[in-house]
Amino acid sequence: MKSILVIGLGRFGYNIAKKLSEMKHEVMAIDRHEDLVNEVLDFVTNAQIGDSTDIDYLQTLGVESFDLCIVAIRNNFQTSLETTSLLKELGAKKVVSCATNDIHEKFLLRNGADAVVYPEKQLATWTAVRFTADNVFDYIKLDDEFSIFEVSTPENWVGKTIGQLAIRPKYGINVLAVKSGDKFDVKVMPDTLLTKEEHLLVLGSIKNVKKCFDI
């Protein structure tokens, strides 16, 4: 369990705070607007009405004591940038800020953000990959080269084992798990037999995965 400060309770911040609370983290939520603060009171550890660009106010929160600070302000870049910079100035351990375009991302990283999330860009990439290939069911980009894909089992692999197919040496990808329904089996062994109904969770370079599964 971690202590997390979420600043900005629009739709993005609200959903982050809710998910973190469901994961049993201690969440402190901050926003300038009372109505937005009231909406999260039922599930966060604590919530306050406050101005995150006011250094005196931020000091009262003890931002250095949080394991993570998330700046989820999306409708005012100036406020997001100032908040990010002040958090680092006050000793925040880790600051993750939300960007709405490439320029914002660059400025946030230069002004104190340890990491930046870019929801529109990340979702656009996921949507493009997920829905332009009939055999891809999920996709997680790890960096510019490697990704994890959930794919259907190729027809010519059905009835064969992982060892028989020599997937890693032949294709340069790793089978992390076999998915049947909603359940994942991560105990993938050379004698694991593949069936038509199952999906595979595979890790590899995007180039190798696309070539292997004809994506």
Closest Cα partner for 58 from 5, 105, 98, 108? 5
**Mean pLDDT taken over the chain:** 92
Task: State which CATH number among 3.40.50.300, 3.30.870.10, 3.40.50.720, 2.60.40.10 fits the domain covering 3-117.
Answer: 3.40.50.720
Identify whether the C-beta of residue 215 lies closer than 8 Å to the C-beta of residue 190: no
* DSSP, residue by residue, 85-148: HHHHHTT-S-EEEE-SSHHHHHHHHHTT-SEEE-HHHHHHHHHHHHHS-TTEEEEEE-SSSEEE
Distance CA 214, CA 136 (A): 10
Q: Where in the chain is the domain with CATH 3.30.70.1450?
A: 122-213
How many C-alpha atoms does 215 have within 13 Å on its Cβ side?
25
Query: pTM of the entire structure?
Result: 0.72
> How many CB atoms sit inside 10 A of residue 108's CB?
26
Q: Are 196 and 158 in contact (CB under 8 A)?
A: yes
Instruction: Please give the torsion angle defined by the CA atoms of residues 76, 79, 82 and 86, in that order, rounded to the nearest 10 degrees.
Output: -130
| Residue 141 pLDDT > 90 | no
Would you call 56 exposed, middle or buried from its count of C-beta atoms within 10 A (0-12, 13-18, 19+)? exposed
pLDDT digit string, tens, across residues 7-47: 999 999 999 999 999 999 999 999 999 999 999 999 999 99
Ranges in the chain annotated CATH 3.40.50.720: 3-117
**pLDDT value, residue 199:** 94
Residue with tokens 């680092």: 88
pLDDT at 212 (0 to 100): 87
For helices 77-89 and 102-110, give the axis angle rounded to 10 degrees: 20
Question: What pLDDT is stored for residue 51 in this prediction?
Answer: 97
pLDDT above 90 (res 75): no
Looking at residue 194, the DSSP 8-state letter turns out to be P
Q: Which CATH architecture has domain 122-213?
A: 2-Layer Sandwich (3.30)
Q: Among 85, 139, 134, 82, which Cα is nearest to 112's?
A: 85
Task: Say which residue, 140 or 106, is predicted with more confidence.
Answer: 106
